[in-house]
Amino acid sequence: MNLYDGGVTSPQGFRAAGICAGLKKNRKDMAMLMSTAPCTAAGTFTSNLVKASPVVWDQNIVKQTGCARAVVINSGVANACTGRQGDEYCLETARAAAKALGIRPEEVLLASTGVIGRQLPMDTITEGVRTMSGLLSDTREAASDAAQAIMTTDTKRKEIAVTFELSGKKVTIGGMTKGAGMIHPNMGTMLCFLTTDAAISASMAQKALLSCVQDSFNMISVDGDESTNDTCILLANALAGNEEITQEDESFRTFCRALELVTKNLARRMAADGEGAHALFEVRVTGASTKEQAVTLAKSVIGSNLVKTAIAGHDANWGRIICAMGYSGAAFDPGKVDLTFESSAGSVRIAENGVSTGYSEEEATKILSQDEITAVIDIHEGCQEAVAWGCDLTYEYISINADYRS
């Protein structure tokens, strides 16, 4: 079971397209996904009380039918805080796609990302839908075009695929995602689209997705702002021909392991490509009594602006890490905490039993100057652990967000 350079068209029967529709200047801004066969559809969405219109649209489909055939995605405009007009534009978009693809509007999922509070330019959207329906293709290139089109302030496309066996059949999962800013998913994620040719029931697909999102997208934070548009969709079209997964058996667990490889890979890359980020910052809390305690502590550390600016400055200012653990709300004994920094340049023990080891600042700075840094925090209570991913907070984050709309 290995990851490889694939994308949403890697599983059988999935086609994609990505184009410059004209929402943004000279950049791809619309994508379409389509399966030649009907799919079960699972989804997790933002828990923000303020939900974008396409989020509400998708939630209804996932809840009511659990079936879909296509996804239409635009960047540039989030279609959030747009009132009833925004809801009507969702219906219009789905109708345009259904007509062009010869399916029903209720089989079309939607996703938007971009500026909140602006209405979609519907002429551009419907023309984009028509154009894309003529370009759909199952090539590697088409998947990459789609992955490119969903980007906002991302600097890199994020795609991956994995192949494995289920009841003697070769099964593939492909995925693409976008992240960068307003990234602090909670029971949802940023825009992420996962495709698979596995045969799996809607309820098992939903269960697999929820479990994988929990340990991947829900463990990253770029800026603590949970979006109105977070959407993660899994489409499964059964073309691999495996025995359908309908219960939590060995096949289900294999499928979950494969799906988790994909979601963790994409989540790490989303954190590493956070707005303005120069470094991926991984926090591993070990020796916890409960998983929940480990999760709370790890997320508090990756969420701290002061920790993130210290990482940006390659500064082993470890007190900020202990401080962020202290205000997390989780109980622990500060006097028992061991802290180690690790990267490709080596590893250095910074604190033992809650106080400084008298480590070499020079050595620590060398380790913290790499582009992937891990803080291992052992709280010496039990055997549970959790891993969270964030990034450093740099000048570029300010620059990107102070002028986002101009």
Enumerate binding residues for a copy of itself (CB under 8 A).
Answer: 47-51, 78, 80-83, 85, 115-118, 181-182, 184, 186, 223-228, 303-306, 309-310, 312-313, 315, 317-320, 322-328, 331-332, 334-335, 351, 353-356, 393-395, 397-399, 401-406
- We find the least distance from the C-beta atom of residue 253 to a copy of itself, in angstroms, to be 33
Catalytic residue among 9, 153, 172, 189: 189
Across 260-400, where does the E strand assignment appear? 280-288, 338-343, 346-352, 355-356, 372-378, 384-391
- We find the least distance from the C-beta atom of residue 321 to a copy of itself, in angstroms, to be 9
Is 155 among the catalytic positions? Answer: no
Q: Where are the alpha helices (DSSP H) in 71-157?
A: 83-101, 122-133, 140-149
Task: Give the SS3 label for residue 334.
Answer: helix
- We find the least distance from the C-beta atom of residue 366 to a copy of itself, in angstroms, to be 15
Nearer to a copy of itself by Cβ, of 252 and 397: the residue is 397
Pairing of strands 192-196, 169-177: antiparallel
Instruction: Name, in order, each residue with C-beta under 8 angstroms of 85's C-beta and a sequence gap of 6 or more.
Output: 119
Nearer to a copy of itself by Cβ, of 4 and 395: the residue is 395
Nearer to a copy of itself by Cβ, of 37 and 50: the residue is 50
- Which residues, in sequence order, are bridge partners of residue 4? 161
Angle at alpha carbon of residue 131, lines to 180 and 146, rounded to 5°: 25
**Sign of torsion, CA 191 265 347 287?**
positive
Backbone phi and psi for residue 148, each to the nearest 5 degrees, phi listed first: -70, -40
Backbone phi and psi for residue 235, each to the nearest 5 degrees, phi listed first: -110, 130
Q: From the DSSP assignment, how many helices (H) and strands (E) are in the chain?
A: 11, 15
- We find the least distance from the C-beta atom of residue 369 to a copy of itself, in angstroms, to be 12
Nearer to a copy of itself by Cβ, of 15 and 51: the residue is 51
Nearer to a copy of itself by Cβ, of 118 and 140: the residue is 118
- We find the least distance from the C-beta atom of residue 353 to a copy of itself, in angstroms, to be 7
Q: Where in the sequence numbering do the catalytic residues fall? A: 189
